[in-house]
Amino acid sequence: MISDRQKLILKAIVEEYVITNEPVGSKLLTSKPYLKFSSATLRYDMQHLEETGYLEKTHTSSGRVPSEVGLRFYVENLLTRDESVKNYYENIEIIINDKYLTKEQIINELINYVAKVTGCFVAVVGSNACYAKVKKMEIVPLNERDALLLIVTNSGVVRSQRINVPKDFKMEDLLRIMSMFDVAMYDQYIYEIRDILEKEASKPRIREIVDYRDDILNFMIKGFASFLNNECYKSSMSPLFAQPEFKDYKVMQRFVSALDNTEVSNLIYNNKKMLSIKIGKENEALGLADCAIISIPYYLDLNEYGQIIAVGPVRTNYQLIVPILEYLSNSLPKLYK
């Protein structure tokens, strides 16, 4: 059990350490406006926090650093959301409201922005829409060879996939075929797309437009395949590798090896309803014991949701990354409407 004053000291040490990556001493703490205590008092409390496992003493300094136990206590009990993150919210809104970018481009812009400002690797794992029902299917031509496949689901979510139309296909024929598929797919589950496409493509009314060939059917199925799988967007790893901890080649190697052997979606701890933070050795099974993994779901409707994941060093700036991910969780659904 620690006192309220010791909680303030632990909070100050964590927030100083995650920014500077340097041990924190009592002299620095006396400069904090909410820690107007004598150096002797602060040293006594720091000693107590060390003895109870919340702080650790380094060999190179008289200062202390938070232990994983201390960081766990901090994120569960002392983490606050303050006004300093509002500028980041504004920048997120600017990216989301850029009318010249596709949904995919916006998500990539967002995760790379968040990675840059937090020093984390960031990923967005989309929802599996298999059990959503189709309300509208359409092809929107972008030019002679490129088009956008669209599905509007029963929850009002719009899913899109850009396709390149093969040279021996005519855009107008594909548009006519899609209008027929649209009627057949209405109010059917997305996981039924393949069977319905196969059934419809064999009907005489479609053969009247183009000779029935497997490559036409396969082209259509391939175009809609992305709707049956989870989308996954990943940021650059450069901001993470710029962190001091990853200057150690072995730490970097372990991280890259862990991600090579693990799907990003497997970094989620069965987290469907709330923010999840796993620190250090809590990630040992994934080979990421040097890291903190923060994940939070974003909901498109009650049954359809995706996940946002951030991976950083144990010394992650939780006070920054957590509110940004929470804001992103509330903002991402706008892109699907």
- Do 47 and 88 contact (CB within 8 A), yes or no? no
**Res 212: pLDDT:** 45
Query: Which residues is 55 bridged to in the sheet?
Result: 66
Half-sphere exposure of 3 (CA within 13 A, CB side): 9
The CA distance from 208 to 264, in Å, is 45
- Do 138 and 159 contact (CB within 8 A), yes or no? no
Mapping DSSP to helix (H, G, I), strand (E, B) and coil, where does residue 243 land?
Answer: coil
Q: Which domains does the chain have, with CATH numbers?
A: 4-78 (1.10.10.10), 84-126+231-336 (3.30.450.40), 134-228 (3.30.390)
Least confident segment among 150-159, 263-272, 295-304, 310-319? 263-272
Query: What does the block give as tokens for 162?
Result: 């850009």
What is the mean predicted confidence (pLDDT) over 57-65?
79
The CA distance from 307 to 109, in Å, is 17
Res. 216: pLDDT tops 60: no
pLDDT grade, residue 60 (50/70/90)? low
Q: Kindly report the CA angle at 310 between 307 and 315, in degrees rounded to 5?
A: 150
Q: What is the mean pLDDT of the chain?
A: 84
Q: Alpha carbon of 37 to those of 6, 33, 56: distances in Å? A: 11, 10, 21
pLDDT per position as a tens digit, 97-141 = 998 888 889 999 999 999 999 999 999 987 666 667 788 888 888
**Res 272: pLDDT:** 59
Nearest C-alpha neighbor of 178 from the set 122, 226, 223: 223
The CA distance from 167 to 18, in Å, is 55
Q: Is 317 left (phi over 0), alpha (psi -120 to 50) or beta?
A: beta
Centre a 10 Å sphere on the Cβ of residue 42 and count the other Cβ atoms it contains.
22
What is the mean predicted confidence (pLDDT) over 70-82?
94
This prediction's pTM: 0.76
Query: What does the block give as tokens for 265?
Result: 């979606």
**Res 220: pLDDT:** 64
